[in-house]
Structure 1
């Protein structure tokens, strides 16, 4: 996402993004492409995009908490989130809305300070209470219609990085991010 793209975003989306202190993500279909491959032994396999991982680390490095709220449980998710240093990982969360509320209370944040990123109907309830509800490009149309913003990238193909870039740019942190890599 470049600065030109950011300039094209509605002022309401930019204002919502500027207030975010917590970015919460679904996993399957959001941080992955949504497919659920299983080995002959029944173990699931997930593929995560390296750009998304860097985006999540950038958010944390620049003061935005990152959370994972997913209905499924997976060792692959545990391992990848540990690699990224993400502390707020909620797997097996059947009530994602309640989980997000609990996390907001723990972090002493208001709903308008949270973004929730998802791809399908189980993500609707937390997305609706978040100050910035985001659907990935390939989200189910019913969810996408309820989002404040929709990424150009598909789940598992850079959508989380796009969210990271939006939040950091809207908060005026782009130069700081770039400087950290010089």
Structure 2
């Protein structure tokens, strides 16, 4: 029998309602390091478990969005590989972006989760139904989060958020019974 982490009841209640989750990229799905090659192109390191979690969410019918203030060819490539439809780079207002996606999908902000780690994420974290932060988020963000992942950004924190939603929505048993990656 597989056991899940002990999630707080209030967090599970919020997570059960989520139909869309947005992720900041730098510091959330990456460790926050900014690496540049000699050609000036950015390079990012993504955790494979985060990618699996995003694919499992999509398979479960939960929409996934990547929203970043930075433009990045590496993020574009990773999002194509994971078949993420909602990729919004160079966003100055992550809140307006997430509100727009929610409106497009016909859902209210109470059915939206967001995972962020720093100042540019605060407005959207304050407005969503479930605010998530990685363990190493900036101390300004932590008090706003409904839930803080056990792992740090870029080290599986994204998967922690995905697993929370899948658990709260009763999807884990079906995933394990299927036994294959999406």
- The bucket for the TM-score relative to the shorter chain is over 0.9
Per-residue CA deviation, residues 63-104 of structure 1 (Å, 9 max, x unaligned), is 100000100000000000000000000000011110011011
Question: 1:3 maps to which residue?
Answer: 3
Following superposition of structure 1 onto structure 2, how do residues 1-182 of structure 1 map, counting pairs within 5 Å?
A: 3-5=3-5, 8-181=6-179
> What is the alpha-carbon distance in structure 2 between the residues aligned to residue 31 and residue 119 of structure 1?
10
Task: Tell me the TM-score normalized by structure 2.
Answer: 0.96
> What is the alpha-carbon distance in structure 1 between the residues aligned to residue 112 and residue 60 of structure 2?
15
SS at match of 1:69: strand
SS at match of 2:36: coil
| CA root-mean-square deviation | 1.0
SS at match of 1:145: helix
Task: Tell me the TM-score normalized by structure 1.
Answer: 0.96
The runs of 5 or more residues in structure 2 that have no matched partner are none
Alpha-carbon deviation of 1:146? 0.7
> What is the alpha-carbon distance in structure 2 between the residues aligned to residue 63 and residue 69 of structure 1?
19
Deviating 4+ runs (over 6 angstroms)? none
Per-residue CA deviation, residues 2-41 of structure 1 (Å, 9 max, x unaligned), is 7352xx3221100000000001000000000000011122
> What is the alpha-carbon distance in structure 2 between the residues aligned to residue 128 and residue 70 of structure 1?
17
The number of aligned residues is 179
Per-residue CA deviation, residues 122-146 of structure 1 (Å, 9 max, x unaligned), is 0111111110000101000110111
The runs of 5 or more residues in structure 1 that have no matched partner are none
> What is the alpha-carbon distance in structure 2 between the residues aligned to residue 3 and residue 122 of structure 1?
35
